């Protein structure tokens, strides 16, 4: 649970390297954790890795919690990459 808090706190402070370190730790233990995938995608987007972000947001389009927002991100990134 502390990892979840650290991810969002570091993300909000734009400390993307520290946030991603915690995301990767969470994904190592729970590869399909939607919270971790969501933040991974947001960090990738914010650091200019838009294709990676697109791939991760696409993984979430069927997710109950993040699906709606992931679809919006997916459409937005696709239009940016065109």
Distance CA 18, CA 48 (A): 17
> What pLDDT score was predicted for residue 49?
98
The CA-based angle 63-73-26, given to 5 degrees, is: 50
pLDDT tens, position by position, 27-70: 999 999 999 999 999 999 999 999 999 999 999 999 999 999 99
**Does the structure show a pLDDT above 80 at 77?**
yes
**Does the structure show a pLDDT above 80 at 1?**
no
The model's pTM is 0.94
> What pLDDT score was predicted for residue 26?
95
């Amino acid at each position: 649970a502390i990892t979840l808090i650290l991810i969002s706190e570091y993300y909000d402070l734009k400390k993307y390297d520290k946030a991603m370190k915690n995301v990767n730790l969470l994904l190592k233990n729970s590869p399909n954790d939607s919270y971790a995938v969501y933040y991974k995608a947001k960090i990738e987007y914010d650091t200019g890795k838009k294709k990676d972000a697109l791939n991760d947001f696409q993984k979430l389009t069927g997710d109950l919690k993040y699906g709606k927002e992931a679809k919006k991100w997916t459409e937005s990134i696709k239009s940016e990459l065109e």
